[in-house]
Structure 1
Amino acid sequence: MTKQANYYNNLSVDYSQPKLVSNELAVRLVGNAETYISLREEILPEITLEYGLAQIEQENKEWWLTHCEALRQGRADILADEYANTLVYFCADGSFYNRTAAINREVHWWAILAQPGVTMAWPIVMFHSEAIYSEWNCIDNVTKEIIAKGNETLLRRGHRGACYLKTEQLSFYRDVYASNELLHWLRR
């Protein structure tokens, strides 16, 4: 029988459960996110001996933790800047072929997933060079019901390249479009 392991064993923060990190750690992770975004190049960098897949995978592991915290905090500004301008995004709502088109659809989802009283967790995350696969859920902090769940695959060329391909399956058990109140709460 295969022994199960926590997918966060080799990462510095564990987002597999809906427990929050300390305020100090959250601030540090958001600061790291802003630093990583500042390294993004407009044109996807080539994979070379100097910028190889091992480095890209390590950078993606570092980034993952900042991505989780940005989602939990409703930082749409950070989430939007994680994407390359040429992002290709496939999901049940259709295909989106640039960063702006994807963000215009996702802003509703971000507002629902990060709303007050709900905590998002990613029990499964796996990395392989540019590829990041995760399964996630959002839990109502009072009722403990799962309000949404899904999985996603991202292709991200490290800090220099940002996310350039995203595929996602989402299941919402509450509204699919965020209310004006939730959209106002989301930092944009």
Structure 2
Amino acid sequence: MKRRTNYYKDLAADYSRPGLVAESLQSELIALSLKINGMQEKSPPVIGDDYTMSQVEQENKQWWPTHCEALRQGRGDILIGEYRQDLVYFCQDGAYYGIEEQKVREQHWWALIAQPGVTMTWPIVMFHGEFVWFEWSCIDDDTNETLAKGSCVWVRRGHRGGCHFKGEQLTFYRDVFSSPELLELITKS
């Protein structure tokens, strides 16, 4: 029988289900995410001897828990900072080109999946060089109802490059646009 994979084995935190990340680590991850966003260069770095694909993959593994924590905390300011200005984003409502085009739509998604009483989880995450592929689901803390789920790929050139392509399949089972009250909870960029 094939052995199951622990996708979080070598990562700083496990976001595969609720309740696995200590509060002190959550704060550290938010601080790290702000630092990582500040490392993004104006132009994507060239992959070569000075910046290898192996280093990019390691940086993506370091970044991953910071991304999860930023989403759980509704930190839209951090989330938008993860993208390059020239982001290409393919999804059922897109394609979106650049971070301004998708910002209005995506803030509704963030508000729904980060709302109080809901916990987002990422049971599967895989890394290959620039590629980060994951599945996610949002679960109501009281009813255990799945509000939304999806799968996503980021093409992210490590800390220096940020995300330049995102492709996502999203399914929302409850609500499609968030209420104005939920939008207020998302940190504005």
Number of corresponding residues: 188
CA distance in 1, matches of 2:185, 2:94: 26
Given residue 171 of structure 2, which amino acid in structure 1 is its aligned partner?
S
Tell me how far 1:99 sits from its aligned partner: 1.1
Structure 1, unpaired ranges of 5+: none
Worse overlay, 13-22 or 111-120: 13-22
CA distance in 1, matches of 2:186, 2:107: 8
CA distance in 2, matches of 1:95, 1:5: 33
CA distance in 2, matches of 1:93, 1:60: 26
CA distance in 2, matches of 1:126, 1:37: 21
CA distance in 2, matches of 1:79, 1:12: 19
What does the per-residue CA deviation read over 1:23-80, in whole Å, with 9 as the maximum and x for residues that have no partner? 2111100000000011001211111111010000000000000000000000000000
CA distance in 2, matches of 1:2, 1:84: 39
Q: TM-score, structure 2 length as denominator? A: 0.97
Runs of 4+ in 1 over 6 A off after TM superposition: none
Q: Which residue number corresponds to residue 40 of structure 1?
A: 40
Alignment of 1:90 onto 2:90: yes
Give runs of aligned pairs for residues 19-168 of structure 1, distance below 5 A: 19=19, 21-168=21-168
User: Any idea what SS the aligned residue of 1:94 has?
Assistant: coil
CA distance in 1, matches of 2:44, 2:141: 39
Q: Percent identity?
A: 53
User: Any idea what SS the aligned residue of 1:115 has?
Assistant: coil
Given residue 31 of structure 2, which amino acid in structure 1 is its aligned partner?
G
Tell me how far 1:10 sits from its aligned partner: 1.4
Given residue 15 of structure 1, which amino acid in structure 2 is its aligned partner?
Y
Q: Which residue number corresponds to residue 13 of structure 1?
A: 13
Tell me how far 1:185 sits from its aligned partner: 1.3
Tell me how far 1:20 sits from its aligned partner: 5.1
Q: Is the 8 A contact 1:18 1:139 kept in 2?
A: no
Tell me how far 1:5 sits from its aligned partner: 1.8
CA distance in 2, matches of 1:48, 1:5: 31
Aligned-residue CA RMSD (Å): 0.8
Tell me how far 1:150 sits from its aligned partner: 0.3
Structure 2, unpaired ranges of 5+: none
Given residue 47 of structure 1, which amino acid in structure 2 is its aligned partner?
I
Q: Is the 8 A contact 1:122 1:137 kept in 2?
A: yes
Tell me how far 1:134 sits from its aligned partner: 0.1
Q: TM-score, structure 1 length as denominator? A: 0.98
CA distance in 2, matches of 1:88, 1:106: 13
Tell me how far 1:13 sits from its aligned partner: 0.8
CA distance in 1, matches of 2:170, 2:84: 22
Q: Which residue number corresponds to residue 179 of structure 1?
A: 179
Q: Is the 8 A contact 1:42 1:85 kept in 2?
A: no
CA distance in 1, matches of 2:5, 2:40: 33
Given residue 186 of structure 1, which amino acid in structure 2 is its aligned partner?
I
Given residue 92 of structure 1, which amino acid in structure 2 is its aligned partner?
Q
CA distance in 2, matches of 1:4, 1:61: 20
Worse overlay, 92-101 or 128-137: 92-101
